[in-house]
Amino acid sequence: MNIQTLKGYDDFLHDLKFRIRTAQTRAALAVNSELILLYWQIGRDILTRQKDEGWGAKVIERLANDLRKEFPDMKGFSPSTL
């Protein structure tokens, strides 16, 4: 193996690591963006539902219970966070 092969490999490896890290960052940003949009929509829909059903309908409490049952591994579905 000559020195050019080693240098070429090092550059190749460096480029691949950079591309992997860049893709990971872009993926994380896309996920965060989608989650923020989802949370905003959930909040908007809760407000609409409360307006339609009235405050005493316990919309948030019912949603919190049902969402926690459906998505037990997810956090953020307590009444205080909804």
For residue 3, the model assigns a pLDDT of: 61
Residue 5 contacts residue 45 (beta carbons within 8 Å): no
54-73 pLDDT, tens digit per residue, is: 877 888 999 999 999 999 99
d(CA 12, CA 59): 56
6-43 pLDDT, tens digit per residue, is: 778 888 999 999 999 999 999 999 999 999 999 999 99
Residue 78 contacts residue 62 (beta carbons within 8 Å): no
42-54 pLDDT, tens digit per residue, is: 999 999 998 898 8
For residue 82, the model assigns a pLDDT of: 87
**Cα dist. 74→29, 39, 66, 69, 70 in Å?**
19, 13, 12, 10, 9
Domain spans in the chain, listed from the N-terminal domain onward: 3-70
